[in-house]
A = this chain, B = another copy of it.
Amino acid sequence: MMPVKCEICPLRKKPLFAEMDDDIVRFMQEFKVGEMKVKAGTTLMMEGSNAPQLYTALEGMGLRYKTLIDGDRQVINFVLPGDFIGLQAGVMREMQHSVEASTDMILCVFDRKTLWDLFQNHPERAFDLTWVAAVEEHLLGESLAILGQMSGIERVARAFVRLHDRCEALDLKHGAGVPLPFKQQDLADALGLSLVHTNKTLKKLRDQSIAKWANGKLEVMSYTRLCEIAQLDPTRDPIIRPLI
């Protein structure tokens, strides 16, 4: 099967991503060495290793996580289409977290070795890479504030709003809900809550008809009330980011 041409990349035109000049698109086409399909459960990057390849998620979802000495797992964030994977491997010695596919995924593949070429000959793209890193930094800072200052139900609500909005921006809404192909344990590990407590919190949102998450689908029934709990302004603007 032919890989998707960057030129006609369906992600590129979503308003979530910064616009891209035509010559940048041509360069990306060159920079891209191929496409990869992986099955759910595949480990894409390993904490502590150095990866020869970098990716951009095209389809499917995954998660980034760290494993602690005592075996606990912290999910750093969820990987959705448009996310760049492997920046740390690209510029630091090695990855500081692992990345795993939660569903089957399709990824754009880049070569780590040509990253330097990007910096030397395509300053706009280098800038965009830094921009992506800064957006990532922002999102992690926000997550930190969520774990540090918010209660269980607030954290779940926040996660739902974030994921719901991102899916909508990607036009992933089909029917009543958006896809959320994770386990409750994944969400628990992301929010720093126990599985049991997460489960009971989900029940509360269900019982109050605010949001329902089952069978890999998230249905937000009252966006307003969800935002209220999540301490978010329902009319705020999304963060624009470049697509690598």
Q: Which residues of A contact B (CB under 8 A)?
A: 64, 66, 68-70, 72-74, 76, 87-88, 90-92, 96-97, 116, 119-120, 123-124, 126-127, 129-131, 133-138, 140-145, 147-150, 189-192, 231, 239
Chain B residues within 8 Å of A190, by CB: 148
Contact B126 A92 (CB under 8 A): no
The docked-state distance in angstroms from the alpha carbon of A74 to that of B91 is: 28
Known contacts A126-B126, A129-B130, A144-B143, A137 near B192 by CB under 8 Å: no
Known contacts A96-B138, A135-B92, A136-B137, A191 near B129 by CB under 8 Å: no
Contact B231 A131 (CB under 8 A): no
Known contacts A91-B127, A144-B144, A74 near B138 by CB under 8 Å: no
Chain B residues within 8 Å of A189, by CB: 148
The docked-state distance in angstroms from the alpha carbon of A219 to that of B79 is: 41
Q: Lowest 4 A-B CB distances belong to which pairs?
A: A148-B192, A133-B133, A74-B145, A140-B140
The docked-state distance in angstroms from the alpha carbon of A70 to that of B148 is: 13
The docked-state distance in angstroms from the alpha carbon of A91 to that of B192 is: 30
Chain B residues within 8 Å of A141, by CB: 64, 66, 74, 76, 96-97, 140
Chain B nearest Cβ from A222, distance in angstroms = 19
13 A–B contacts, CB within 8 A, in A order: A66-B142, A66-B145, A72-B149, A74-B149, A76-B141, A76-B144, A92-B138, A119-B130, A123-B126, A126-B126, A133-B137, A144-B144, A148-B192
A contact patch SS: helix
Contact B126 A68 (CB under 8 A): no
The docked-state distance in angstroms from the alpha carbon of A96 to that of B143 is: 12
Supply 4 further A-B pairs (C-beta < 8 A) apart from A76-B141, A119-B123, A140-B140. Answer: A66-B142, A88-B134, A92-B134, A148-B191
Neighbour of A123 across the interface among B73, B96, B120, B140, CB < 8 A: B120
Known contacts A69-B231, A123-B123, A126-B119, A74 near B144 by CB under 8 Å: yes
Chain B residues within 8 Å of A144, by CB: 74, 76, 140, 143-144, 147
Contact B147 A148 (CB under 8 A): yes
Chain B residues within 8 Å of A134, by CB: 87-88, 90-92, 133
